[in-house]
Structure 1
Amino acid sequence: MTRSLDEANREISRVRALPYGVARTQAAEQQVRLVEAEGPDRARAFALLVLVESLVWSGEVQRAYLPFTQAVRWYDQHPEHLDDMDVQGLFWSFKWMVGHLADFPDVPAAQIDATLDDMERRYAVAGLGRDAVAYERFSWARRRGAPDTDALFEEWVRTPRDDYSQCEVCDPGDRASYLAQRGDVDGAVRLIQQTLETGATCATEPADMLANLAVLHLDAGRADAAVATHRRAVAALADAQSDMAGARGLRFVLLARGGQPTRALRALASDAHLMLRADTPDDRFWFLVDVVAGTAALLPEHADAQVDLDGVPVSDVAGLRAWADAQAAELAQAFDARNGTDRYARRLAQARLARPAGVRLELDVIPAGGAGAPVAGGDVGQVPPAAPSSGAGPDDETAADRAERLATAGDLVAAAAAWLEAAAQAESSGLLADAGFALAEAARCAQEAGDDDGAAATYPGAVARMRAGGVPVPHIVPVVVAWAPVAVTTGTGADVVDVVDALLGGLADPPAGDGPDAADTGADPAGADLDERLSHARRRARADLHDTAARVLASMGGAHAADAARRASRAAEGYAGVDAVGDAAHAFWLAGRLHAALGATDDAIWHLESAVEGFTVARQPQPRSDAASALVDVLRAAGRDDQADEVLRALTR
């Protein structure tokens, strides 16, 4: 049955509303096939352009070129079939194609030049502004290291913005990056700071600008400013979209050159996949260049430092340096051969000369060793004295009140110190529960400020004091959940699993009929309601603990995968039992991925189907699309293409 234009547009719009990823791309391809086979012709451009958009922003620019050229040809042959939104989308897609084709060294320079020339001609004929064209010409020249790059930069800066300009936050970020590259560091710093003061954000900013600014401060010897900016960059990275290879590479360089080898290698371990595959080959090259620069700064002192990078065949810093250099050199040769210059080779050569900065970054929020006691028991250790806290307040302000005020103001470092002071005061008064809560708050401040070591060393003491102080287990669980990520980062995840197992023993529901007044419970509605609420809290806490253990175990390697999958399944069932549909979906999704990695296809499909259904009910489109992508991959690998196609169609209904 042929769809009407409204029906086709509605389904294509639903595809466009999906988050970028495999599921969206395959659904877009499905829509193109339907329109080409059945019509209507007036929906063809929309379908093609949604496919172009899906491929570009999923890192498959080369594949996007065919539907892009098909859309251009359709526009030339049948302009009557495109409405104003289609035309606008077509002109936007020129920017994506010109900007991203250059990220692939096997795309000929002549093809990029021709596409850029066609873009400029079409923009002129349509009476559009020239800012987008000026920017793309500058970017293409900068990438090659062409002699007219400076002139093209100045031309772009002079060109007025228009409806087709890039976003207002990326624009100054790109300008500042080039200013710093050509030596105008003061101008770059000024421009970044002015932009940051506006508070404007986008998918990649201010993370990119902050990462650049932190390194500029380090190079200038401004250690305190570098630390403060680095902490802001880490926070911004958590909210950024795309792989953020540039900001992540600069983070490694900053830490390596700033005298923080352990933190540098730990950060790199979390980003190791970018050394193997980033969004584009260009992104991968620049990340590898940063790895070369960072490791060059670590040599020779840390040449033997051990590294464990998933998929990267090296075991120490010296081996990492050699491997990254070889990988980057291969890419540099390919890009320079395409570009007809030596810019990539020259930039790699500069990275090899990187050395430690003249200042050391002090990143500890909580003193080394943290404030803690043994993890598994109720023994309480001594809370070390807190560092002096900054921030004037009322004379009768307590340490806890001061900590709250400082945290609200964004001064996490001072807030952590105040929480440590509050913990020491509570413990000296025998208030172990209060001391535990204060330590947990101090650990959380350190965690958010990027001091994973301090946080990981402090959370155990917080949990120990809360347990010794008689805090109900459901109130301890959120602290354990917060602790888990830094335990994974610092390689202490096994401690979290031990605590999880200890706490699970205290969460069993009491047998029915227990207690002297049990016989009257049914006659007391208030008592029955309280019992139900307590039972609900225990069941929710059990699910949280199983989910936390599953995620920690999944991070610890293949030997723990089966246990992680089992616990994720229990977490999903537990969440479903307390109507936490979104949380259940996330746990089903984790279990499905783990079962898929274990080769348990049927279990993987069942869990992933449950995840997609749960995310649909919870109205969470991004994870729904990601879970659907994983489900489609498993179904296609199992030869169940019809089921995979049905999953994709369901996303557009």
Structure 2
Amino acid sequence: MALSPHEAGRELSRLRQMPYGTARTAASEALTDRIEAEGPRDYLPAALLDLVENYVFTDQDDRGFVGFARLLRLWDEDASLFDDVDTANLFWEYKWVAGSLASYPAISIEQAEAFLAEMERRFVVSGKPTSCVAKSRFGWLSDIGSSLADDARQAWQRAGFDEYDDCAACRTGQQVGFLVQEGRYAEAVEVGAGREGTCNREPHSTLVHLALAHTELGQPELAAEALSAARASIGGNHTMSAGSLGLWFEGLCRINRLTEALALLRGDYADFLPGRATPLDQVRMLTHLVAGLAAHADADDAPTGLTQLGELNVRQVREWAHAQAAELAAQFDQRNGNSFFSRQLDRALTATRLDVPAVAPEAPVVAADVVATPASDSPLESAAVDIEDAPETADAYQQAALADEAAGQLVDAGVNYAEAAHLLADTQLSLAHDTFALAVPRLVAGGAEPALIAAVLGDWAPVAADVLDTAGVEHHVVSLIEHLDQRIAAEQSPSDDLAVAELARFQALRWELIDVLARTIASTPPSQRRPGRSAAEAIDLAMKAGEGFAGIGQPYNAAHAFWLAGRLQREAGDVEAAIWALESAYEGFRVAGLPAVAAEAAGDLIEVLRATGQDERATEVARSL
């Protein structure tokens, strides 16, 4: 049965609330196909516009071309279907598609120029201002390394700005990026100083470019400040391309923060490595990867922990990235009729690094032999400290910890070390790891409550994984689980309501620790795991945690545990088990009232279903969103 206009509008509105990703795109495709086949036809322009947006913001620019062509055909056939909002969005999205012209070497110069000419014709015929056409021409020439790019930039500036141009923040970011690309670093800093406003890409893009500019100008402290500000600017609606990630990676490496840079790659953006990006973003990312690792040639034998590439060392990853980038650079240079990308790659091989003076704590860097989760969920006071104030505040906590320890207040010392470590985790991973290693033994020796120790272990675990040293975390997690097992066994026949509540808290805490252990094992590269540890054990622990959380009425935690298990099972090739776990995660997040997170889990489920030829089931999941 066809949707009513009210139903179609409601479904489109719901989709717009979802995070960009596989699930939102799949749901958008299903809804667009349904409206095109069954109506209401007046809502087809809005559905297609949303579909193009989803493709563009998930690095599927090639599919965006197809969706936009459908929009233009519909406009030419019956422009009356487009209301004022649809019309404005059609011309707004034109520049998104134009911005993708350089992304594929198969698109010829002639085809791109014809697209831009047709874009200008349509704007003029429709009586629209043409500043964004000038901007799109500048973007195209900049992306292909043309010597005419700066003239086009100035022509864009002279054209003024109108309602179809980008926001002020993006206009600044585009110019700063171009100036850095051209090696005009002082100019980039000058233009970047006038930045204003925010959006889903800014000011992050401007700031990471400024970090590189400051590095090239020999200003390591300013480079570090720019990167810290860039990290602080990332909000819930932020989107990062592979090229932007590569720039951030290089920026970290160039100010001697290789550990943080590699942790970034091993984290949420690991899928970019095998090529889940446009060819243009891919060659940019790989070139930045080469530059960052070239700056650390003295660490060639160091492990990277990048399991996606077979656990190669620094030299091997740099050589792999260079070979991949060289192949893509040759394709782009052939299309562009120049040697722009090859020259960029050659320059990357000569990159050097600067040292940034670090906060020098007086605390020892190795934990004494004492007998005995996400920042927003942390019970620590430092979770509320602004990232710009983190180094100074961390030093104050370390000084307080030293005073507490001297006074024999081990729990207080442990808490203050944990506060310091929490703050250092954003900028100095290795020091944060060592400081956590000071905190936990003191908490244990001082007889801290298990819940406090568990919270600190939850904060320490991802840091330990990032520095490829999880033995200490695992030891303390296992010890605390054993301690809780003893407490639970002693409380199996609680005598009053207070004892019943205490038993419930211990049981919940035990599942939390099992979940932490599963994540720690899973995030540690196989070669770095302790003897006997394996992905299979991580899967088993995650499944047990999910079932345990479900059994005590915690659907949110259960969903997260099942989500971890499903991803690991998918990597292990156990497709049916992965589907069950991912379905459980999806349903758990829905029960917990978290549609945005549910959509992310659904995206993983849809990918597994499609990869195994279960397209109908995948479509059912998409429609259920």
TM-score by length of structure 1 reads: 0.86
CA contact (8 A) 2:382 2:419 kept: no
Paired position in structure 2 for 1:495: 472
Paired position in structure 2 for 1:165: 165
CA contact (8 A) 2:200 2:238 kept: yes
In the alignment, does 2:311 pair up with 1:333? Answer: no
Counting aligned pairs with the same residue, the percent is 37
With over 3 angstroms needed to count, the CA separation of the structure-2 counterparts of 1:531 and 1:160, relative to structure 1, is farther
CA contact (8 A) 1:588 1:610 kept: yes
Give 3-state SS (helix, strand or coil) of 1:210's partner: helix
Larger deviation, residues 133-142 vs 304-313? 304-313
In the alignment, does 2:439 pair up with 1:462? Answer: yes
Q: Find the aligned partners of 1:650 and 1:112 in 2 and give their Cα distance.
A: 39
Which residue of 283, 301, 322 corresponds with 1:285? Answer: 283
Larger deviation, residues 101-110 vs 318-327? 318-327
Deviation at 1:296, TM superposition (A): 3.2
CA contact (8 A) 2:543 2:562 kept: yes
Deviation at 1:77, TM superposition (A): 0.9
Q: Find the aligned partners of 1:406 and 1:309 in 2 and give their Cα distance.
A: 32
Highest Rg: 1 or 2?
1
Give 3-state SS (helix, strand or coil) of 2:308's partner: coil
| Deviation readout 1:478-521 (Å, 9 max, x if unpaired) | 10111011100111123212211111122245458789xx76x3
Deviation at 1:127, TM superposition (A): 2.5
Amino acid at match of 1:205: E
Paired position in structure 2 for 1:429: 407
- 1:2-21 equivalence runs, <5 A: 2-21=2-21
Deviation at 1:272, TM superposition (A): 5.6
Q: Find the aligned partners of 2:384 and 2:590 in 1 and give their Cα distance.
A: 40
Larger deviation, residues 254-263 vs 624-633? 254-263
Larger deviation, residues 481-490 vs 309-318? 309-318
Point out where structure 2 has 5 or more consecutive residues left out of the alignment: 373-380, 527-532
| Deviation readout 1:399-436 (Å, 9 max, x if unpaired) | xxxx9799569422121221111111111111111111
Q: Find the aligned partners of 1:64 and 1:266 in 2 and give their Cα distance.
A: 32
Deviation at 1:183, TM superposition (A): 5.2
Deviation at 1:278, TM superposition (A): 4.5
CA contact (8 A) 1:255 1:261 kept: yes
CA contact (8 A) 1:210 1:229 kept: yes
Give 3-state SS (helix, strand or coil) of 1:647's partner: helix
With over 3 angstroms needed to count, the CA separation of the structure-2 counterparts of 1:325 and 1:640, relative to structure 1, is closer
Give 3-state SS (helix, strand or coil) of 1:430's partner: coil
Q: Find the aligned partners of 2:345 and 2:2 in 1 and give their Cα distance.
A: 56
CA contact (8 A) 2:606 2:618 kept: yes
With over 3 angstroms needed to count, the CA separation of the structure-2 counterparts of 1:557 and 1:260, relative to structure 1, is closer
| Deviation readout 1:265-289 (Å, 9 max, x if unpaired) | 5555556643431421111111111
- 1:507-526 equivalence runs, <5 A: 507-508=484-485, 510=488, 521=496
Q: Find the aligned partners of 1:540 and 1:130 in 2 and give their Cα distance.
A: 60
CA contact (8 A) 2:120 2:133 kept: yes
With over 3 angstroms needed to count, the CA separation of the structure-2 counterparts of 1:598 and 1:360, relative to structure 1, is closer
In the alignment, does 2:598 pair up with 1:624? Answer: yes
Give 3-state SS (helix, strand or coil) of 2:394's partner: helix
Deviation at 1:542, TM superposition (A): 1.7
In the alignment, does 2:618 pair up with 1:644? Answer: yes
Deviation at 1:546, TM superposition (A): 1.6
Which residue of 588, 606, 609 corresponds with 1:635? Answer: 609
Q: Find the aligned partners of 2:364 and 2:263 in 1 and give their Cα distance.
A: 18
| Deviation readout 1:190-247 (Å, 9 max, x if unpaired) | 332332xx5x432222322222222222222223223333333344458673344344
Paired position in structure 2 for 1:227: 224
Point out where structure 1 has 5 or more consecutive residues left out of the alignment: 380-402, 522-527
Paired position in structure 2 for 1:564: 538
Deviation at 1:471, TM superposition (A): 0.7
TM-score by length of structure 2 reads: 0.89
Amino acid at match of 2:288: D
Paired position in structure 2 for 1:553: 521
Which residue of 378, 390, 395 corresponds with 1:417? Answer: 395
Q: CA RMSD in A?
A: 2.9
- 1:186-265 equivalence runs, <5 A: 186-195=186-195, 200-236=197-233, 241-259=238-256, 265=262
Q: Find the aligned partners of 1:618 and 1:406 in 2 and give their Cα distance.
A: 25
Paired position in structure 2 for 1:360: 355
Amino acid at match of 1:567: L
| Deviation readout 1:153-187 (Å, 9 max, x if unpaired) | 11212333222221332221112222344454333
Give 3-state SS (helix, strand or coil) of 1:169's partner: helix
With over 3 angstroms needed to count, the CA separation of the structure-2 counterparts of 1:251 and 1:19, relative to structure 1, is closer
Amino acid at match of 1:413: P
Paired position in structure 2 for 1:388: none
Paired position in structure 1 for 2:85: 85
With over 3 angstroms needed to count, the CA separation of the structure-2 counterparts of 1:462 and 1:189, relative to structure 1, is same
Paired position in structure 2 for 1:106: 106
CA contact (8 A) 1:406 1:415 kept: no
Give 3-state SS (helix, strand or coil) of 1:37's partner: helix
Q: Find the aligned partners of 2:89 and 2:235 in 1 and give their Cα distance.
A: 30
Between the two proteins, the alignment pairs up a number of residues equal to: 609
Deviation at 1:619, TM superposition (A): 3.1
Q: Find the aligned partners of 1:80 and 1:263 in 2 and give their Cα distance.
A: 53
CA contact (8 A) 2:102 2:144 kept: no
Q: Find the aligned partners of 1:7 and 1:236 in 2 and give their Cα distance.
A: 36
Q: Find the aligned partners of 2:168 and 2:399 in 1 and give their Cα distance.
A: 44
Q: Find the aligned partners of 2:504 and 2:309 in 1 and give their Cα distance.
A: 45
Amino acid at match of 1:360: D
CA contact (8 A) 2:311 2:525 kept: no
Amino acid at match of 2:317: L
In the alignment, does 2:447 pair up with 1:477? Answer: no
Amino acid at match of 1:465: R
